[in-house]
């Protein structure tokens, strides 16, 4: 049997994405092989392809975080899952874009058979990210006011849906075309292209919002802090400015600077969030949170937005669609 796998052959644009075929190997001891049903496409994949993500892997490499699929084979000593079971996996940014993937069995999260594998993939990355930022990092409470940047994206829309469940008052930045999506979650949309979000939020919430969630970086982080009340929480995650004029060095510098600020007594609390870092530090949290959210998905309490389902072989097109910022919610690759 052959495996089909996407590789980034060199740093660059979508043209550097190649599909290769290689023999399937048997899983090693404690390892499982999973036939991919859905694999998520993330902006961080684009950043790694362009080589602007900090510590981007050297090409050739296979991008991808979140995978939902069926256990195809188990290595010696695997007891956590069995062949034929549906599971989810979260990689540390590389490995997901493949028809078959391999992982230690203890990494697997069981996925209910009744749920859409594309929506389950959204839960594994986007919704766990949103849940942990809201409840484990910012520790929001009912009635809190929050500002969400990139509110129509995969994580942004997850923050909106989970924020509505938590009964938060929400403001979300996005282009005007995406405002109906934001309003549908009960949030107030802000056009980042034509409106000054700092002045607008300050006028609506004179005392300042309780928390801001900002994946943009650069000057936007400093402006976001101007919307916070005293003792408010700033949560930075990602640095999409690096897809524009900002550099990898800017990202590393700003991330370190703000990471050090969380120890300063005056001003807002500052948190720099990475799902893979927190998963490494607190693996039990990831499994608890993923299981909780997959249960909500099974009950249809959650309805992640799937923008497009794209065949694995067209991964370059999927990344182009995401990079063009015209999509709402999550783009996923589909398997065999």
Residue 296 counted as domain residue: no
User: Domain check: are 105 and 26 in the same one?
Assistant: yes
pTM: 0.95
User: Domain check: are 80 and 35 in the same one?
Assistant: yes
Q: For 297, phi and psi rounded to 5 degrees?
A: -65, -40
Q: Can you give the CATH number for the domain in which 53 is found?
A: 3.90.180.10
User: What pLDDT is attached to residue 266?
Assistant: 65
Q: Would you say 275 and 128 are in contact if contact means Cβ atoms under 8 Å apart?
A: yes
User: Domain check: are 90 and 6 in the same one?
Assistant: yes
User: What pLDDT is attached to residue 248?
Assistant: 76
Calpha distance 334→6 (Å, rounded): 12
Q: Which domain holds residue 30?
A: 2-111+305-334
Q: For 207, phi and psi rounded to 5 degrees?
A: -80, -10
CA 45, 234, 176 angle in degrees (round to 5)? 65
Own/partner pairs, 192-200, CB within 8 angstroms, 24+ separation: 192/149, 197/147, 197/171, 197/173, 197/223, 197/227, 198/223, 198/226, 198/227, 200/171
User: Domain check: are 149 and 231 in the same one?
Assistant: yes
CA 102, 19, 335 angle in degrees (round to 5)? 55
User: Domain check: are 166 and 207 in the same one?
Assistant: yes
Q: Would you say 90 and 107 are in contact if contact means Cβ atoms under 8 Å apart?
A: yes
User: What pLDDT is attached to residue 218?
Assistant: 87
Query: Among 276, 291, 325, where does a domain finish?
Result: 276
User: Domain check: are 78 and 203 in the same one?
Assistant: no
Give me the average pLDDT of each 10-residue run along the chain (336 residues): 96 97 97 98 95 93 98 97 98 98 98 98 98 98 98 96 98 96 98 96 97 94 94 92 74 77 69 96 97 98 97 97 88 91
Query: Among 276, 294, 315, where does a domain finish?
Result: 276
Number of H helices, E strands in the chain: 11, 15
User: Domain check: are 98 and 132 in the same one?
Assistant: no
Residue 62 counted as domain residue: yes
Q: For 14, phi and psi rounded to 5 degrees?
A: -55, -25
Residue 221: name the closest of 202, 211, 234, 210 by CA. Answer: 234
User: Domain check: are 214 and 105 in the same one?
Assistant: no
Residue 126: name the closest of 66, 86, 179, 188 by CA. Answer: 66
User: Domain check: are 74 and 188 in the same one?
Assistant: no
User: What pLDDT is attached to residue 241?
Assistant: 79
Q: Can you give the CATH number for the domain in which 182 is found?
A: 3.40.50.720
Residue 213 counted as domain residue: yes
173: which strand partners? 190
User: What pLDDT is attached to residue 262?
Assistant: 58
User: Domain check: are 228 and 254 in the same one?
Assistant: yes
Calpha distance 120→118 (Å, rounded): 5
Residue 286 counted as domain residue: no
User: What pLDDT is attached to residue 265?
Assistant: 58
Cα 175 to Cα 142, 152, 189, 255, 321: the distances in Å are 27, 9, 9, 26, 16
User: What pLDDT is attached to residue 267?
Assistant: 74
Residue 299 counted as domain residue: no
Residue 151 counted as domain residue: yes
Residue 32 counted as domain residue: yes
User: Domain check: are 142 and 223 in the same one?
Assistant: yes
Task: Output the furthest CA–CA distance in the chain (Å, rounded).
Answer: 63
Domain count, the chain: 2
What's 23-77 look like in SS3? ECCCCCCCEEEEEEEEEEECHHHHHHHHCCCCCCCCCCECECCEEEEEEEEECCC
User: Domain check: are 136 and 18 in the same one?
Assistant: no
Query: Among 260, 276, 292, where does a domain finish?
Result: 276
Residue 120 counted as domain residue: no
- Strand 330-334 relative to strand 31-41: parallel, antiparallel, unpaired? antiparallel
């Amino acid at each position: 049997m052959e495996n089909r796998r996407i590789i980034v052959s060199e740093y660059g644009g979508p043209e550097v994405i190649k599909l290769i075929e290689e023999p399937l190997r048997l899983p090693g001891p404690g390892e499982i092989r999973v036939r991919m049903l859905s694999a998520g496409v993330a902006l961080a994949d684009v950043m790694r392809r362009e080589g602007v993500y900090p510590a981007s892997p050297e090409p050739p490499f296979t991008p991808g975080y979140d995978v939902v699929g069926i256990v195809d084979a188990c290595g010696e000593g695997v007891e956590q899952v069995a062949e034929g079971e549906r599971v989810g996996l979260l990689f540390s940014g590389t490995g997901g874009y493949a028809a078959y993937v391999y992982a230690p069995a203890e990494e697997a999260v069981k996925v209910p058979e009744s749920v859409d594998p594309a929506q389950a993939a959204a839960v594994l990355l986007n919704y766990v990210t949103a849940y942990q930022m809201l409840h484990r990092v910012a520790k929001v409470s009912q009635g809190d006011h929050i500002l969400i940047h990139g509110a129509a994206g995969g994580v942004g829309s997850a923050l909106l849906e989970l924020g509505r469940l938590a009964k938060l008052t929400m403001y979300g930045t996005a282009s005007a075309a995406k405002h109906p999506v934001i309003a549908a979650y009960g949030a107030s949309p802000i056009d980042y292209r034509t409106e000054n979000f700092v002045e607008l939020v300050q006028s609506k919430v004179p005392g300042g919002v309780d928390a801001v969630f900002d994946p943009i970086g650069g000057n936007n982080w400093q402006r976001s802090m101007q919307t916070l009340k005293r003792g408010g929480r700033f949560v930075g995650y990602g640095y999409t400015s690096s897809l524009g004029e900002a550099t990898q060095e800017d990202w590393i510098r700003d991330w370190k600077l703000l990471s050090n600020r969380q120890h300063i007594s005056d001003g807002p609390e500052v948190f720099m969030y990475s799902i893979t870092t927190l998963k490494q530090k607190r693996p039990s949290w990831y499994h608890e949170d993923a299981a909780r959210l997959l249960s909500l998905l099974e009950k249809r309490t959650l309805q992640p937005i799937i923008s497009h389902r794209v065949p694995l072989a067209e991964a370059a097109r999927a990344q182009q669609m995401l990079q063009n910022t015209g999509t709402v919610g999550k783009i996923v690759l589909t398997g065999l």
